[in-house]
């Protein structure tokens, strides 16, 4: 009996050692997550601004005003010239906050937006972590605080904005398109109708339609779906947007008529074009001309150029099997060509950073894999020709420029150097701090333009889309 017990204990020893290693690994990962949260907290305190739900106070005041029987677009926030600028459906979605204190509404929005960000990051990072063998929970737990720390996200949460919720609606359609291209392989025949409907992806496009009904700028994604001949998703998006808008004419006809005939064209309601936080092409040109207003014809010419460039590169990215980069390019193009793109609108830099980082990983893996599998003795020649090992720097440096671009892009939006050089006409010229100050004040806008022109895509990164484009669903099943 003792010998039997001893043999059983010996057999259990590897299990115990594995459990101890697992516990240590989990403890290390939890420590890294805690360090990321603490670093994000410090960075927000260092580079962020005082946040008091400023925009949420405007939304809350407008909802209280509307719920009291007044006309929605007649509301002007106290001590400001600002009012409600979203379409009537946006007001209907926000209307329940009229029954909450403004601070509670702001925190509800912050928590909901952070949860939406976590879900989006899980969808973006899942293919990456599956390939490199990292747990999804750990990667997302680190990515969320790092994302919260950068300018667009911390401004969205601090001001009580809705950008992350709209971002999640659009990215939901990306996931829906991914599932639809797999032709139902994510569910079983005995699954219920709701699960079959969700994983079929036939609803793809509804998120873009809803986002367009809340804020008009996501409509560019409908244009993208049309030029890439994704007819079903485009029809769903258009039908959703039109249906919701017509429904609002029935529910709130006065507000709907006021918005589409008057409010939509009053661009001055949101602020002057040259204001520093407006990091669109229009804001860049206004500041470069040191003018409150954007030079109209020049802006139109460059906007059309950026629109054509962004949409053509997005279409090419999808044709090469990278729908994520295609969506990212469309989102970045929207930020560039919109007359007003406040810094909290620039959430599309998040997937841009993911794309750059993943491109670096893919290039590194591609450079190491073939040599390791073939046992190549020298770089550039057959195995064993001269007995020399490949240069040690080759796999290490491959992908370096993409990794460096991802890090620099993240640091730029973390530090956000526009604020130390913020100027306001007519009191202070935008050139008050010289050319370097002007460069810093426009740095985020310049980064967006460079991304639209140069963000790389990853051929075959979304093989389901690629197989669908080739009309070969059998390739999807084999993958």
Q: Where in the chain are the domains? A: 271-479
Q: What value does the CA radius of gyration of the chain take, rounded to a whole number of Å? A: 25
- The candidate with the shortest Cα–Cα distance to 234, out of 214, 219, 217, 216, is 219
Give the per-residue pLDDT at 416: 95
Give the per-residue pLDDT at 85: 87
Q: What is the DSSP secondary-structure string of 63-106?
A: HHHHHTT--GGG---TTSS----S-HHHHHHHGGGGGS-HHHHH
- The candidate with the shortest Cα–Cα distance to 174, out of 474, 473, 464, 471, is 464
Peptide bond into 59 cis (omega under 30): no
Which stretches in the chain have pLDDT values below 50? 371, 373-385, 464, 466-479
Give the per-residue pLDDT at 379: 44
Give the per-residue pLDDT at 268: 63
Quick check: 253 and 132 in contact, CB under 8 A?
no
Tokens at residue 83, please? 């009012």
């Amino acid at each position: 009996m003792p010998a039997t017990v001893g043999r059983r204990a010996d057999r259990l020893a590897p299990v115990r050692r594995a459990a101890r290693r697992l516990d240590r690994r989990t403890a290390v990962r939890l420590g890294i997550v805690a360090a990321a949260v603490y670093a994000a907290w410090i960075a927000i305190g260092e580079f962020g601004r005082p946040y008091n739900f400023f925009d949420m106070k405007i939304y809350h005041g407008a909802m209280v005003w509307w719920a009291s029987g007044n006309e929605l677009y007649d509301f002007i926030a106290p001590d400001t010239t600002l009012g409600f600028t979203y379409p009537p459906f946006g007001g209907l979605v926000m209307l329940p906050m009229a029954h909450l204190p403004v601070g509670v509404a702001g925190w509800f929005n912050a928590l909901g937006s952070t949860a939406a960000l976590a879900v989006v990051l899980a969808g973006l990072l899942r293919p990456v972590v599956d390939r490199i063998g990292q747990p999804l929970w750990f990667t997302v737990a680190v990515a969320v605080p790092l994302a919260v720390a950068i300018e667009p996200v911390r401004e969205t949460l601090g001001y009580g904005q809705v950008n992350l919720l709209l971002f999640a609606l659009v990215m939901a359609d990306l996931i829906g398109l991914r599932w639809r291209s797999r032709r139902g392989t994510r569910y079983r025949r005995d699954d219920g109708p709701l699960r079959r409907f969700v994983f079929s992806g036939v609803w793809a496009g509804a998120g873009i339609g809803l986002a367009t009904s809340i804020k008009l700028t996501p409509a560019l994604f409908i244009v993208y779906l049309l030029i890439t001949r994704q007819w079903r998703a485009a029809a769903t998006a258009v039908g959703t947007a039109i249906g919701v808008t017509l429904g609002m004419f029935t529910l709130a006809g006065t507000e709907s008529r006021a918005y589409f005939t008057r409010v939509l064209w009053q661009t001055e309601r949101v602020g002057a074009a040259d204001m520093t936080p407006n990091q669109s092409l229009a804001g860049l040109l206004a500041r470069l001309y040191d003018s409150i207003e954007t030079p109209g014809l020049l802006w139109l010419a460059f906007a059309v150029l950026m629109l054509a460039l962004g949409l053509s590169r997005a279409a090419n990215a999808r044709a090469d099997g990278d729908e994520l980069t295609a969506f990212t390019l469309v989102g970045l193009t929207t930020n560039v060509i919109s007359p007003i793109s406040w810094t909290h609108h620039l959430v599309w830099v998040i997937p841009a950073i993911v794309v750059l980082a993943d491109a670096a990983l893919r290039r590194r893996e591609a450079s190491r894999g073939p040599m390791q599998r073939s046992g190549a003795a020298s770089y550039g020649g057959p195995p064993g020709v001269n007995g020399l090992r490949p240069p040690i720097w080759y796999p290490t440096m491959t992908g370096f420029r993409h990794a460096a671009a991802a890090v620099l892009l993240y640091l730029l939006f973390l530090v956000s150097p526009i604020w130390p050089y913020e100027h306001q006409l007519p009191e202070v010229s935008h050139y008050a701090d010289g050319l370097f100050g002007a460069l810093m004040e426009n740095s985020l806008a310049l980064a967006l333009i460079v991304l639209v022109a140069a963000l790389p895509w990853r051929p075959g990164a979304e093989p389901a889309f690629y197989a669908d484009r080739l009309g070969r669903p059998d390739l999807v099943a084999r993958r």
